[in-house]
Chain A
Amino acid sequence: MKRALSEIARQPATCVAVLLIAAVVLAAIAAPWLAPFSPDAQPFDGLSLEGAPLPPGPKYWLGTDTLGRDLLSRLLYGARTSLVIGLVANGVAVLIGMTLGVVAGYVSGVVGNALMRFTDLMMAFPALLLAIVLAALLRPSLWIVALVIALVNWVQVARIIYTETRGLVERDYILAERSLGAGHMRILFRHIAPHLLPSAIVWGTLGVATTVLLEATLSFLGVGVQPPQPSWGNIIYESQSYFQAAPWLVFIPGAIILATALSFNLVGDALRDLLDPTQRGRG
Protein backbone atom coordinates (compact mmCIF):
# COMPACT_ATOMS: atom_id res chain seq x y z
CA MET A 1 0.00 0.00 0.00
CA LYS A 2 2.74 2.35 0.95
CA ARG A 3 4.58 1.41 -2.19
CA ALA A 4 1.46 2.13 -4.24
CA LEU A 5 1.08 5.58 -2.75
CA SER A 6 4.66 6.54 -3.30
CA GLU A 7 4.45 5.20 -6.86
CA ILE A 8 1.43 7.37 -7.59
CA ALA A 9 2.94 10.39 -5.87
CA ARG A 10 5.91 10.17 -8.18
CA GLN A 11 3.78 10.68 -11.28
CA PRO A 12 2.27 14.16 -11.43
CA ALA A 13 -0.30 13.20 -14.09
CA THR A 14 -1.61 10.40 -11.93
CA CYS A 15 -1.77 12.77 -8.97
CA VAL A 16 -3.89 15.20 -10.93
CA ALA A 17 -6.12 12.36 -12.04
CA VAL A 18 -6.69 11.15 -8.50
CA LEU A 19 -7.50 14.69 -7.39
CA LEU A 20 -9.93 15.13 -10.26
CA ILE A 21 -11.78 11.93 -9.46
CA ALA A 22 -11.95 12.99 -5.83
CA ALA A 23 -13.34 16.35 -6.90
CA VAL A 24 -16.03 14.74 -9.04
CA VAL A 25 -17.05 12.40 -6.24
CA LEU A 26 -17.13 15.30 -3.84
CA ALA A 27 -19.21 17.38 -6.26
CA ALA A 28 -21.68 14.54 -6.60
CA ILE A 29 -22.04 14.15 -2.86
CA ALA A 30 -22.15 17.86 -2.07
CA ALA A 31 -24.28 18.91 -5.05
CA PRO A 32 -27.17 20.27 -2.94
CA TRP A 33 -24.80 22.63 -1.13
CA LEU A 34 -22.64 23.58 -4.10
CA ALA A 35 -25.32 24.15 -6.74
CA PRO A 36 -26.38 27.79 -7.04
CA PHE A 37 -29.86 26.81 -8.27
CA SER A 38 -32.18 23.83 -8.20
CA PRO A 39 -31.24 21.59 -11.16
CA ASP A 40 -34.90 21.48 -12.28
CA ALA A 41 -35.82 25.13 -11.83
CA GLN A 42 -36.75 26.82 -15.11
CA PRO A 43 -36.57 30.52 -14.24
CA PHE A 44 -38.38 32.84 -16.64
CA ASP A 45 -35.19 34.82 -17.28
CA GLY A 46 -33.24 31.66 -18.14
CA LEU A 47 -34.09 32.00 -21.82
CA SER A 48 -33.72 34.96 -24.14
CA LEU A 49 -36.88 36.61 -25.43
CA GLU A 50 -36.64 34.48 -28.55
CA GLY A 51 -36.27 31.34 -26.47
CA ALA A 52 -32.52 30.83 -26.93
CA PRO A 53 -30.40 29.49 -24.05
CA LEU A 54 -28.14 32.04 -22.34
CA PRO A 55 -24.33 31.92 -22.63
CA PRO A 56 -22.13 31.81 -19.52
CA GLY A 57 -22.45 35.03 -17.54
CA PRO A 58 -22.44 36.51 -14.04
CA LYS A 59 -25.78 35.04 -13.01
CA TYR A 60 -25.54 31.64 -14.71
CA TRP A 61 -21.84 30.87 -14.58
CA LEU A 62 -21.88 28.16 -17.22
CA GLY A 63 -24.93 29.45 -19.05
CA THR A 64 -28.39 27.88 -19.30
CA ASP A 65 -29.81 24.96 -21.25
CA THR A 66 -32.65 24.95 -23.78
CA LEU A 67 -35.21 25.08 -20.97
CA GLY A 68 -33.46 27.96 -19.24
CA ARG A 69 -32.04 25.83 -16.42
CA ASP A 70 -28.68 26.58 -14.86
CA LEU A 71 -26.09 24.35 -16.53
CA LEU A 72 -23.68 24.37 -13.57
CA SER A 73 -26.34 23.09 -11.19
CA ARG A 74 -27.39 20.39 -13.62
CA LEU A 75 -23.80 19.26 -14.12
CA LEU A 76 -23.27 19.00 -10.36
CA TYR A 77 -26.39 16.91 -9.87
CA GLY A 78 -25.69 15.02 -13.08
CA ALA A 79 -22.39 13.83 -11.58
CA ARG A 80 -24.43 11.64 -9.22
CA THR A 81 -26.28 9.89 -12.02
CA SER A 82 -23.25 9.53 -14.23
CA LEU A 83 -20.99 8.18 -11.51
CA VAL A 84 -23.52 5.49 -10.71
CA ILE A 85 -23.76 4.58 -14.38
CA GLY A 86 -20.04 4.87 -15.12
CA LEU A 87 -18.81 3.06 -12.02
CA VAL A 88 -21.52 0.68 -10.92
CA ALA A 89 -22.92 -0.39 -14.28
CA ASN A 90 -19.53 -0.58 -15.88
CA GLY A 91 -17.91 -2.25 -12.88
CA VAL A 92 -20.60 -4.91 -12.67
CA ALA A 93 -20.28 -5.55 -16.39
CA VAL A 94 -16.51 -6.02 -16.18
CA LEU A 95 -16.86 -8.25 -13.12
CA ILE A 96 -19.45 -10.53 -14.71
CA GLY A 97 -17.59 -10.56 -17.99
CA MET A 98 -14.26 -11.45 -16.37
CA THR A 99 -15.69 -14.21 -14.23
CA LEU A 100 -17.60 -15.85 -17.04
CA GLY A 101 -14.80 -15.37 -19.54
CA VAL A 102 -12.14 -16.90 -17.31
CA VAL A 103 -14.29 -19.81 -16.22
CA ALA A 104 -15.44 -20.55 -19.76
CA GLY A 105 -11.90 -20.31 -21.08
CA TYR A 106 -10.29 -22.34 -18.34
CA VAL A 107 -12.84 -25.02 -17.60
CA SER A 108 -13.14 -27.25 -20.61
CA GLY A 109 -15.97 -29.67 -21.17
CA VAL A 110 -19.66 -29.21 -20.68
CA VAL A 111 -19.58 -26.29 -18.25
CA GLY A 112 -17.13 -24.22 -20.25
CA ASN A 113 -18.96 -24.94 -23.45
CA ALA A 114 -22.37 -24.13 -22.00
CA LEU A 115 -21.09 -20.86 -20.59
CA MET A 116 -19.55 -19.87 -23.88
CA ARG A 117 -22.67 -20.77 -25.84
CA PHE A 118 -24.67 -18.60 -23.46
CA THR A 119 -22.22 -15.78 -24.02
CA ASP A 120 -22.49 -16.34 -27.77
CA LEU A 121 -26.26 -16.13 -27.51
CA MET A 122 -26.11 -12.90 -25.56
CA MET A 123 -23.50 -11.49 -27.88
CA ALA A 124 -25.54 -12.28 -30.95
CA PHE A 125 -28.02 -9.60 -29.92
CA PRO A 126 -27.36 -6.13 -31.27
CA ALA A 127 -26.49 -4.43 -28.00
CA LEU A 128 -28.47 -1.23 -28.38
CA LEU A 129 -31.59 -3.08 -29.40
CA LEU A 130 -31.44 -5.43 -26.46
CA ALA A 131 -30.96 -2.49 -24.12
CA ILE A 132 -33.94 -0.67 -25.56
CA VAL A 133 -36.30 -3.61 -25.32
CA LEU A 134 -35.16 -4.52 -21.82
CA ALA A 135 -35.46 -0.96 -20.60
CA ALA A 136 -38.89 -0.61 -22.21
CA LEU A 137 -40.12 -3.71 -20.42
CA LEU A 138 -38.73 -2.76 -17.03
CA ARG A 139 -39.75 0.65 -15.70
CA PRO A 140 -36.93 3.06 -16.51
CA SER A 141 -35.19 4.45 -13.44
CA LEU A 142 -31.56 5.11 -12.58
CA TRP A 143 -30.87 1.64 -11.15
CA ILE A 144 -32.78 -0.19 -13.87
CA VAL A 145 -30.79 1.69 -16.50
CA ALA A 146 -27.55 0.78 -14.71
CA LEU A 147 -28.67 -2.83 -14.62
CA VAL A 148 -29.58 -2.87 -18.29
CA ILE A 149 -26.23 -1.39 -19.26
CA ALA A 150 -24.41 -3.98 -17.16
CA LEU A 151 -26.50 -6.77 -18.70
CA VAL A 152 -25.60 -5.63 -22.18
CA ASN A 153 -21.96 -4.74 -21.68
CA TRP A 154 -20.56 -7.77 -19.88
CA VAL A 155 -20.77 -9.86 -23.01
CA GLN A 156 -17.97 -8.11 -24.85
CA VAL A 157 -15.66 -8.33 -21.86
CA ALA A 158 -16.44 -12.03 -21.48
CA ARG A 159 -15.60 -12.71 -25.08
CA ILE A 160 -12.24 -10.93 -24.98
CA ILE A 161 -11.25 -12.48 -21.67
CA TYR A 162 -12.31 -15.89 -22.95
CA THR A 163 -10.09 -15.61 -25.99
CA GLU A 164 -7.14 -14.46 -23.94
CA THR A 165 -7.64 -17.14 -21.31
CA ARG A 166 -7.62 -19.79 -23.97
CA GLY A 167 -4.33 -18.40 -25.25
CA LEU A 168 -2.85 -18.50 -21.77
CA VAL A 169 -4.12 -21.94 -20.87
CA GLU A 170 -2.16 -23.51 -23.69
CA ARG A 171 1.10 -21.80 -22.80
CA ASP A 172 4.01 -23.95 -21.77
CA TYR A 173 4.50 -22.61 -18.30
CA ILE A 174 0.89 -23.22 -17.38
CA LEU A 175 1.06 -26.73 -18.76
CA ALA A 176 4.20 -27.16 -16.74
CA GLU A 177 2.55 -25.88 -13.56
CA ARG A 178 -0.27 -28.27 -14.17
CA SER A 179 1.94 -31.25 -14.67
CA LEU A 180 3.64 -30.32 -11.40
CA GLY A 181 0.26 -30.76 -9.77
CA ALA A 182 -0.68 -27.14 -9.11
CA GLY A 183 -4.31 -26.67 -8.11
CA HIS A 184 -6.80 -24.89 -10.37
CA MET A 185 -7.17 -22.02 -7.96
CA ARG A 186 -3.42 -21.51 -7.83
CA ILE A 187 -3.15 -21.49 -11.63
CA LEU A 188 -6.16 -19.21 -12.04
CA PHE A 189 -5.11 -16.65 -9.49
CA ARG A 190 -1.34 -16.84 -9.71
CA HIS A 191 -0.84 -17.26 -13.41
CA ILE A 192 -3.92 -16.46 -15.42
CA ALA A 193 -5.68 -13.64 -13.63
CA PRO A 194 -2.60 -11.37 -13.48
CA HIS A 195 -2.19 -11.62 -17.24
CA LEU A 196 -5.81 -10.70 -17.78
CA LEU A 197 -5.68 -7.64 -15.59
CA PRO A 198 -4.40 -5.31 -18.32
CA SER A 199 -7.38 -6.11 -20.54
CA ALA A 200 -9.78 -5.83 -17.64
CA ILE A 201 -8.39 -2.45 -16.71
CA VAL A 202 -8.56 -1.26 -20.29
CA TRP A 203 -12.21 -2.22 -20.50
CA GLY A 204 -12.98 -0.90 -17.09
CA THR A 205 -11.50 2.53 -17.69
CA LEU A 206 -12.52 3.00 -21.31
CA GLY A 207 -15.99 1.83 -20.37
CA VAL A 208 -16.51 4.75 -18.00
CA ALA A 209 -16.89 7.17 -20.89
CA THR A 210 -18.81 4.85 -23.20
CA THR A 211 -21.34 3.80 -20.58
CA VAL A 212 -21.99 7.42 -19.70
CA LEU A 213 -22.70 8.05 -23.39
CA LEU A 214 -24.74 4.84 -23.74
CA GLU A 215 -26.98 6.04 -20.93
CA ALA A 216 -27.46 9.22 -22.92
CA THR A 217 -28.48 7.25 -25.99
CA LEU A 218 -31.00 5.35 -23.91
CA SER A 219 -32.36 8.61 -22.49
CA PHE A 220 -32.74 9.86 -26.00
CA LEU A 221 -34.74 6.77 -26.93
CA GLY A 222 -36.99 7.35 -23.97
CA VAL A 223 -35.76 4.35 -22.01
CA GLY A 224 -32.99 6.02 -20.02
CA VAL A 225 -33.06 8.10 -16.88
CA GLN A 226 -36.31 10.02 -17.19
CA PRO A 227 -36.41 13.82 -17.35
CA PRO A 228 -35.88 16.08 -15.56
CA GLN A 229 -33.24 14.05 -13.68
CA PRO A 230 -29.92 15.27 -15.10
CA SER A 231 -27.04 13.08 -16.19
CA TRP A 232 -23.95 14.22 -18.04
CA GLY A 233 -24.92 12.08 -20.96
CA ASN A 234 -28.43 13.41 -21.37
CA ILE A 235 -27.26 16.99 -20.88
CA ILE A 236 -25.10 16.56 -23.99
CA TYR A 237 -27.63 14.49 -25.85
CA GLU A 238 -30.53 16.89 -25.34
CA SER A 239 -28.53 19.77 -26.75
CA GLN A 240 -26.07 18.16 -29.15
CA SER A 241 -27.58 19.77 -32.23
CA TYR A 242 -26.97 23.17 -30.62
CA PHE A 243 -23.20 22.90 -30.88
CA GLN A 244 -23.16 25.96 -33.13
CA ALA A 245 -25.92 28.01 -31.54
CA ALA A 246 -25.01 27.19 -27.92
CA PRO A 247 -21.58 25.52 -27.86
CA TRP A 248 -21.33 25.67 -24.07
CA LEU A 249 -24.12 23.09 -23.84
CA VAL A 250 -22.06 20.52 -25.71
CA PHE A 251 -18.45 21.32 -25.03
CA ILE A 252 -18.56 21.97 -21.27
CA PRO A 253 -20.24 18.67 -20.35
CA GLY A 254 -18.16 16.99 -23.07
CA ALA A 255 -14.95 18.26 -21.50
CA ILE A 256 -16.08 17.09 -18.09
CA ILE A 257 -16.91 13.58 -19.32
CA LEU A 258 -13.58 13.47 -21.12
CA ALA A 259 -11.57 14.70 -18.14
CA THR A 260 -13.26 12.26 -15.78
CA ALA A 261 -12.83 9.35 -18.13
CA LEU A 262 -9.22 10.30 -18.76
CA SER A 263 -8.56 10.43 -15.03
CA PHE A 264 -10.00 6.97 -14.52
CA ASN A 265 -7.83 5.79 -17.36
CA LEU A 266 -4.65 7.26 -15.88
CA VAL A 267 -5.38 5.79 -12.49
CA GLY A 268 -6.13 2.51 -14.23
CA ASP A 269 -2.76 2.63 -15.93
CA ALA A 270 -1.00 3.28 -12.67
CA LEU A 271 -2.85 0.39 -11.05
CA ARG A 272 -2.01 -1.82 -13.96
CA ASP A 273 1.66 -1.08 -13.62
CA LEU A 274 1.50 -1.86 -9.94
CA LEU A 275 -0.32 -5.13 -10.38
CA ASP A 276 1.34 -6.43 -13.52
CA PRO A 277 3.49 -9.40 -12.54
CA THR A 278 5.98 -8.90 -15.35
CA GLN A 279 6.58 -5.36 -14.18
CA ARG A 280 7.34 -6.12 -10.61
CA GLY A 281 10.74 -5.10 -9.39
CA ARG A 282 11.41 -2.95 -12.42
CA GLY A 283 11.06 0.73 -13.15
Chain B
Amino acid sequence: MAALLGRRLIQAAAVLLGVAIITFLLLHYLPADPAALVAGRSANAQMIANVRHQLGLDLPLPLQFWRYLTGLVRGDLGRSYIQRSEVATLVMARIPATLVLMACGVFVEVALGLTFGVIAALRRNGIVDRIVMMFAFVGVSSPQFVVALLLLYVFAAHLGWFPMSGFGTPAHVVLPALTLGLLGAGWYARMVRSAMIDVLNQDYVRTARAKGLSRTRVVLRHALPNALLPIVAMIGIDIGQFMGGVVVVEAVYGWPGIGQLAWQAIQQADVPIIMGVTLVSSLAIVLANLLADLVAPLLDPRIRVR
Protein backbone atom coordinates (compact mmCIF):
# COMPACT_ATOMS: atom_id res chain seq x y z
CA MET B 1 0.00 0.00 0.00
CA ALA B 2 2.81 2.41 0.91
CA ALA B 3 4.66 1.71 -2.32
CA LEU B 4 1.45 2.25 -4.22
CA LEU B 5 0.79 5.51 -2.49
CA GLY B 6 4.35 6.61 -3.16
CA ARG B 7 3.95 5.88 -6.84
CA ARG B 8 0.69 7.77 -7.01
CA LEU B 9 2.25 10.75 -5.26
CA ILE B 10 5.08 10.84 -7.77
CA GLN B 11 2.54 10.72 -10.55
CA ALA B 12 0.66 13.58 -8.90
CA ALA B 13 3.86 15.64 -8.73
CA ALA B 14 4.48 14.96 -12.41
CA VAL B 15 0.97 16.11 -13.26
CA LEU B 16 1.49 19.32 -11.30
CA LEU B 17 4.77 19.98 -13.09
CA GLY B 18 2.99 19.48 -16.38
CA VAL B 19 0.27 21.91 -15.34
CA ALA B 20 2.90 24.46 -14.34
CA ILE B 21 4.73 24.20 -17.66
CA ILE B 22 1.61 24.41 -19.80
CA THR B 23 0.07 27.27 -17.82
CA PHE B 24 3.32 29.21 -17.83
CA LEU B 25 3.58 28.83 -21.59
CA LEU B 26 -0.05 29.74 -22.25
CA LEU B 27 0.10 32.81 -20.01
CA HIS B 28 3.30 33.95 -21.64
CA TYR B 29 1.39 34.31 -24.88
CA LEU B 30 -1.53 36.13 -23.29
CA PRO B 31 -2.08 39.27 -25.35
CA ALA B 32 -1.34 41.74 -22.56
CA ASP B 33 1.89 43.45 -21.53
CA PRO B 34 2.51 43.29 -17.76
CA ALA B 35 5.42 45.73 -17.94
CA ALA B 36 3.30 48.43 -19.57
CA LEU B 37 0.53 47.78 -17.05
CA VAL B 38 2.86 48.14 -14.09
CA ALA B 39 4.57 51.20 -15.54
CA GLY B 40 1.25 53.00 -15.86
CA ARG B 41 -0.18 55.40 -18.36
CA SER B 42 2.34 58.22 -18.09
CA ALA B 43 5.36 55.98 -18.67
CA ASN B 44 7.79 56.43 -21.53
CA ALA B 45 9.50 53.63 -23.44
CA GLN B 46 12.50 53.67 -21.11
CA MET B 47 10.38 53.27 -17.98
CA ILE B 48 8.50 50.36 -19.51
CA ALA B 49 11.80 48.70 -20.43
CA ASN B 50 13.07 49.29 -16.89
CA VAL B 51 10.06 47.61 -15.37
CA ARG B 52 10.28 44.73 -17.82
CA HIS B 53 13.88 44.19 -16.79
CA GLN B 54 13.07 44.28 -13.09
CA LEU B 55 10.22 41.81 -13.46
CA GLY B 56 12.66 39.55 -15.27
CA LEU B 57 10.39 39.52 -18.30
CA ASP B 58 13.27 40.30 -20.67
CA LEU B 59 14.93 36.97 -19.87
CA PRO B 60 14.62 33.99 -22.21
CA LEU B 61 11.46 32.02 -21.48
CA PRO B 62 13.14 28.82 -20.18
CA LEU B 63 15.16 30.90 -17.73
CA GLN B 64 12.01 32.71 -16.58
CA PHE B 65 10.37 29.36 -15.96
CA TRP B 66 13.41 28.05 -14.13
CA ARG B 67 13.31 31.09 -11.85
CA TYR B 68 9.64 30.51 -11.20
CA LEU B 69 10.17 26.84 -10.51
CA THR B 70 13.04 27.39 -8.06
CA GLY B 71 10.88 29.95 -6.29
CA LEU B 72 8.03 27.47 -6.21
CA VAL B 73 10.17 24.88 -4.46
CA ARG B 74 10.82 27.44 -1.73
CA GLY B 75 7.10 28.17 -1.51
CA ASP B 76 7.53 31.52 -3.26
CA LEU B 77 4.82 32.09 -5.86
CA GLY B 78 6.09 35.53 -6.80
CA ARG B 79 4.43 38.89 -6.34
CA SER B 80 1.21 40.14 -7.87
CA TYR B 81 1.68 42.78 -10.57
CA ILE B 82 -1.34 44.75 -9.44
CA GLN B 83 -1.57 44.15 -5.70
CA ARG B 84 2.20 43.92 -5.20
CA SER B 85 1.73 41.43 -2.39
CA GLU B 86 3.13 37.93 -2.30
CA VAL B 87 0.88 35.62 -4.25
CA ALA B 88 1.31 32.88 -1.65
CA THR B 89 -0.13 35.17 1.03
CA LEU B 90 -3.04 36.24 -1.15
CA VAL B 91 -3.91 32.69 -2.10
CA MET B 92 -3.52 31.29 1.41
CA ALA B 93 -5.77 34.01 2.80
CA ARG B 94 -8.57 32.79 0.58
CA ILE B 95 -8.20 29.05 0.87
CA PRO B 96 -10.11 28.56 4.15
CA ALA B 97 -13.22 30.29 2.80
CA THR B 98 -13.13 28.24 -0.38
CA LEU B 99 -12.66 24.98 1.50
CA VAL B 100 -15.62 25.74 3.75
CA LEU B 101 -17.83 26.62 0.79
CA MET B 102 -16.62 23.60 -1.15
CA ALA B 103 -17.29 21.18 1.70
CA CYS B 104 -20.75 22.57 2.38
CA GLY B 105 -21.59 22.83 -1.32
CA VAL B 106 -20.54 19.25 -2.03
CA PHE B 107 -22.44 18.06 1.02
CA VAL B 108 -25.68 19.70 -0.14
CA GLU B 109 -25.12 18.43 -3.68
CA VAL B 110 -24.47 14.87 -2.68
CA ALA B 111 -27.21 14.77 -0.05
CA LEU B 112 -29.81 16.12 -2.47
CA GLY B 113 -28.44 14.15 -5.41
CA LEU B 114 -28.41 10.82 -3.56
CA THR B 115 -31.88 11.28 -2.11
CA PHE B 116 -33.46 12.34 -5.37
CA GLY B 117 -31.51 9.82 -7.41
CA VAL B 118 -32.53 6.87 -5.25
CA ILE B 119 -36.16 7.96 -5.04
CA ALA B 120 -36.32 8.45 -8.78
CA ALA B 121 -34.73 5.09 -9.49
CA LEU B 122 -37.14 3.25 -7.21
CA ARG B 123 -40.15 5.02 -8.73
CA ARG B 124 -38.78 4.69 -12.18
CA ASN B 125 -40.89 6.32 -14.92
CA GLY B 126 -43.58 7.20 -12.39
CA ILE B 127 -44.84 10.65 -11.60
CA VAL B 128 -42.41 11.08 -8.69
CA ASP B 129 -39.51 10.18 -10.94
CA ARG B 130 -40.59 12.73 -13.53
CA ILE B 131 -41.03 15.51 -10.99
CA VAL B 132 -37.75 14.85 -9.23
CA MET B 133 -35.82 14.69 -12.47
CA MET B 134 -37.51 17.80 -13.76
CA PHE B 135 -36.38 19.62 -10.64
CA ALA B 136 -32.85 18.32 -11.06
CA PHE B 137 -32.97 19.57 -14.59
CA VAL B 138 -34.12 23.07 -13.76
CA GLY B 139 -31.10 23.32 -11.46
CA VAL B 140 -28.59 22.21 -14.05
CA SER B 141 -29.96 24.54 -16.74
CA SER B 142 -30.24 27.67 -14.60
CA PRO B 143 -27.77 30.52 -14.76
CA GLN B 144 -25.96 30.62 -11.41
CA PHE B 145 -26.08 34.38 -11.13
CA VAL B 146 -29.85 34.57 -11.37
CA VAL B 147 -30.46 31.73 -8.92
CA ALA B 148 -27.98 33.19 -6.44
CA LEU B 149 -29.59 36.62 -6.63
CA LEU B 150 -33.12 35.22 -6.34
CA LEU B 151 -32.23 33.28 -3.20
CA LEU B 152 -30.54 36.37 -1.82
CA TYR B 153 -33.58 38.53 -2.54
CA VAL B 154 -36.04 36.16 -0.96
CA PHE B 155 -34.18 34.74 2.03
CA ALA B 156 -31.80 37.54 2.92
CA ALA B 157 -33.23 40.84 1.68
CA HIS B 158 -36.94 40.18 2.24
CA LEU B 159 -37.25 37.51 4.91
CA GLY B 160 -33.99 38.44 6.61
CA TRP B 161 -33.28 34.84 7.64
CA PHE B 162 -29.67 34.98 6.55
CA PRO B 163 -27.06 37.72 6.21
CA MET B 164 -26.77 39.11 2.70
CA SER B 165 -23.07 39.03 2.38
CA GLY B 166 -19.86 38.05 4.06
CA PHE B 167 -18.16 35.17 5.78
CA GLY B 168 -17.57 33.99 9.29
CA THR B 169 -20.68 32.48 10.90
CA PRO B 170 -22.54 29.29 9.90
CA ALA B 171 -25.49 31.48 8.82
CA HIS B 172 -23.31 33.04 6.17
CA VAL B 173 -22.60 29.77 4.42
CA VAL B 174 -26.20 28.58 4.07
CA LEU B 175 -27.25 30.51 0.97
CA PRO B 176 -24.01 30.11 -1.02
CA ALA B 177 -23.89 26.38 -0.26
CA LEU B 178 -27.57 26.02 -1.10
CA THR B 179 -27.09 27.79 -4.42
CA LEU B 180 -24.22 25.52 -5.35
CA GLY B 181 -26.05 22.47 -4.08
CA LEU B 182 -29.30 23.16 -5.90
CA LEU B 183 -27.50 23.81 -9.16
CA GLY B 184 -25.13 20.85 -8.92
CA ALA B 185 -27.47 18.27 -7.41
CA GLY B 186 -29.01 17.57 -10.80
CA TRP B 187 -25.82 15.94 -12.01
CA TYR B 188 -25.63 13.67 -9.00
CA ALA B 189 -29.30 12.84 -9.10
CA ARG B 190 -29.01 11.80 -12.73
CA MET B 191 -25.86 9.78 -12.13
CA VAL B 192 -27.30 8.04 -9.09
CA ARG B 193 -30.54 7.29 -10.85
CA SER B 194 -28.80 5.70 -13.83
CA ALA B 195 -26.36 3.77 -11.71
CA MET B 196 -29.11 2.56 -9.39
CA ILE B 197 -31.29 1.41 -12.24
CA ASP B 198 -28.33 -0.37 -13.71
CA VAL B 199 -27.51 -2.06 -10.40
CA LEU B 200 -31.13 -2.92 -9.59
CA ASN B 201 -31.28 -4.89 -12.80
CA GLN B 202 -28.14 -6.86 -12.01
CA ASP B 203 -28.67 -10.52 -11.33
CA TYR B 204 -27.32 -10.42 -7.79
CA VAL B 205 -29.78 -7.76 -6.76
CA ARG B 206 -32.61 -9.69 -8.32
CA THR B 207 -31.38 -12.75 -6.51
CA ALA B 208 -31.30 -10.87 -3.26
CA ARG B 209 -34.86 -9.73 -3.85
CA ALA B 210 -35.91 -13.24 -4.79
CA LYS B 211 -34.36 -14.52 -1.55
CA GLY B 212 -36.97 -12.39 0.14
CA LEU B 213 -34.76 -9.62 1.50
CA SER B 214 -36.66 -6.44 2.19
CA ARG B 215 -36.65 -3.75 -0.43
CA THR B 216 -34.94 -1.20 1.84
CA ARG B 217 -32.28 -3.69 2.79
CA VAL B 218 -31.58 -4.55 -0.81
CA VAL B 219 -31.35 -0.92 -1.79
CA LEU B 220 -29.17 0.16 1.10
CA ARG B 221 -26.92 -2.87 1.44
CA HIS B 222 -26.59 -4.11 -2.11
CA ALA B 223 -27.60 -1.56 -4.67
CA LEU B 224 -26.49 1.74 -3.20
CA PRO B 225 -22.85 0.86 -2.46
CA ASN B 226 -22.41 -0.15 -6.07
CA ALA B 227 -24.06 2.97 -7.31
CA LEU B 228 -21.70 5.03 -5.19
CA LEU B 229 -18.75 4.28 -7.44
CA PRO B 230 -19.45 6.90 -10.08
CA ILE B 231 -20.44 9.36 -7.34
CA VAL B 232 -17.02 9.18 -5.77
CA ALA B 233 -15.37 9.80 -9.12
CA MET B 234 -17.83 12.60 -9.66
CA ILE B 235 -16.88 14.35 -6.43
CA GLY B 236 -13.26 14.22 -7.51
CA ILE B 237 -14.21 15.98 -10.71
CA ASP B 238 -16.46 18.40 -8.93
CA ILE B 239 -13.56 19.78 -6.96
CA GLY B 240 -12.13 21.00 -10.23
CA GLN B 241 -15.42 22.63 -11.10
CA PHE B 242 -15.55 24.19 -7.70
CA MET B 243 -12.12 25.75 -7.86
CA GLY B 244 -12.93 27.52 -11.07
CA GLY B 245 -16.68 27.55 -11.17
CA VAL B 246 -17.76 29.11 -7.91
CA VAL B 247 -16.71 32.52 -9.09
CA VAL B 248 -20.25 33.71 -9.59
CA VAL B 249 -21.59 32.41 -6.29
CA GLU B 250 -18.65 33.89 -4.42
CA ALA B 251 -19.17 37.21 -6.15
CA VAL B 252 -22.87 37.46 -5.37
CA TYR B 253 -22.50 36.54 -1.71
CA GLY B 254 -19.27 38.47 -1.14
CA TRP B 255 -17.57 35.22 -0.23
CA PRO B 256 -13.81 35.81 0.11
CA GLY B 257 -12.78 32.67 -1.75
CA ILE B 258 -10.24 31.80 -4.37
CA GLY B 259 -12.74 32.09 -7.23
CA GLN B 260 -13.05 35.85 -6.80
CA LEU B 261 -9.28 36.16 -6.69
CA ALA B 262 -8.95 34.17 -9.92
CA TRP B 263 -11.66 36.16 -11.67
CA GLN B 264 -10.06 39.48 -10.79
CA ALA B 265 -6.62 38.28 -11.77
CA ILE B 266 -7.92 37.19 -15.17
CA GLN B 267 -9.67 40.52 -15.69
CA GLN B 268 -6.45 42.33 -14.77
CA ALA B 269 -4.04 39.94 -16.53
CA ASP B 270 -2.25 39.55 -13.21
CA VAL B 271 -0.18 36.60 -14.36
CA PRO B 272 1.49 35.63 -11.06
CA ILE B 273 -1.89 35.31 -9.36
CA ILE B 274 -3.36 33.33 -12.26
CA MET B 275 -0.36 30.98 -12.05
CA GLY B 276 -0.70 30.66 -8.29
CA VAL B 277 -4.44 30.01 -8.32
CA THR B 278 -4.07 27.49 -11.14
CA LEU B 279 -1.38 25.57 -9.29
CA VAL B 280 -3.25 25.53 -6.00
CA SER B 281 -6.46 24.48 -7.74
CA SER B 282 -4.61 21.78 -9.62
CA LEU B 283 -3.13 20.53 -6.38
CA ALA B 284 -6.61 20.30 -4.89
CA ILE B 285 -7.97 18.50 -7.94
CA VAL B 286 -5.09 16.04 -8.04
CA LEU B 287 -5.44 15.27 -4.35
CA ALA B 288 -9.21 14.86 -4.62
CA ASN B 289 -8.87 12.43 -7.49
CA LEU B 290 -6.12 10.55 -5.75
CA LEU B 291 -8.45 10.18 -2.81
CA ALA B 292 -11.30 9.09 -5.09
CA ASP B 293 -9.08 6.43 -6.64
CA LEU B 294 -8.02 5.17 -3.23
CA VAL B 295 -11.58 5.07 -1.94
CA ALA B 296 -12.98 3.25 -4.99
CA PRO B 297 -11.53 -0.19 -4.09
CA LEU B 298 -13.02 0.10 -0.63
CA LEU B 299 -16.46 0.45 -2.17
CA ASP B 300 -15.99 -2.19 -4.78
CA PRO B 301 -13.35 -4.76 -3.86
CA ARG B 302 -13.38 -6.11 -7.40
CA ILE B 303 -11.41 -3.08 -8.49
CA ARG B 304 -7.75 -3.65 -7.96
CA VAL B 305 -5.80 -0.51 -7.45
CA ARG B 306 -3.41 -0.18 -10.32
Contacts and interface: CB of A to CB of B under 8 A. Distances in A.
Q: Do chains A and B touch in the complex (CB under 8 A)?
A: yes
A151 interface: no
Interface of A is mostly: helix
A199 interface: yes
Contact of B286 (A113, A124, A163, A279): A124
Interface residues of B, number: 66
B197 A198 contact: yes
A169 to B, nearest CB: 9
Given A136-B30, A265-B137, A167 B194 contact: no
Interface in B52-93: none
Nearest to B281: A126
A54 interface: no
A240 interface: yes
A262 B134 CA distance: 8
Contacts of A209: 137, 140-141
Interface in B269-297: 274, 277-278, 281-282, 285-286, 289, 292, 296
Contact of A129 (B198, B266, B304): B266
Contacts of B296: 163, 166
Contacts of A202: 190-191, 194
Interface string B18-35: 110011001101110000
B241 A127 contact: yes
B146 interface: yes
A245 interface: no
Contacts of A195: 198
A160 B233 contact: yes
Interface stretch (A27-35, A43-51, A63-71, A250-258): A250-258
B143 A254 contact: yes
Contacts of A8: none
Contact of B282 (A125, A221, A241, A261): A125
A199 B191 contact: yes
B282 A171 contact: no
A154 to B, nearest CB: 12
A117 interface: yes
Contact of B31 (A125, A136, A206, A250): A136
A236 interface: yes
B218 interface: no
A156 interface: yes
A167 B302 contact: yes
Contacts of A123: 237, 240, 285, 289
A38 interface: no
Contacts of A159: 233, 236-237, 289
A243 B141 contact: no
Contacts of A213: 141, 143
A117 B143 contact: no
Interface of A: 13, 108, 113, 117, 120-121, 123-129, 132-134, 136-137, 156, 159-160, 163-164, 166-167, 170-171, 195, 198-199, 202, 206, 209-210, 213, 216, 221, 236-237, 240-241, 243, 250, 254, 257-258, 261-262, 265, 272, 278-279
8 contacts: A125-B240, A129-B266, A129-B281, A159-B233, A163-B230, A163-B296, A170-B304, A199-B195
